[in-house]
Structure 1
Amino acid sequence: MRRFARRRSEPTIALINVVFLLLTFFLVAGAIGARPPAGLQLAHLTGGDPAPMRGTVALDAEGTALWPEGVADAAGFVATLPTDTAGTARILPDRAAPAAALVALARALRAAGAQEVRILAEREGDE
Structure 2
Amino acid sequence: MKKLQLTPIQRKSENTISLINIVFLMLIFFLIAGQLAPPMDSEVDLIDSTETDPVPPPDALVAREDGSLHYRGNPITVEAYLANAPGSDASETSGETSQGSTPSNIPVRLVADKDMAAKTLVDIVGQLQSAGAGKVTVVTMRSQ
Q: What's the TM-score, normalizing by structure 1?
A: 0.49
Bigger share in helix: 1
More contact order relative to length (CA 8 Å, sep ≥ 6)? 1
Higher radius of gyration, 1 or 2: 2
Q: What's the TM-score, normalizing by structure 2?
A: 0.44
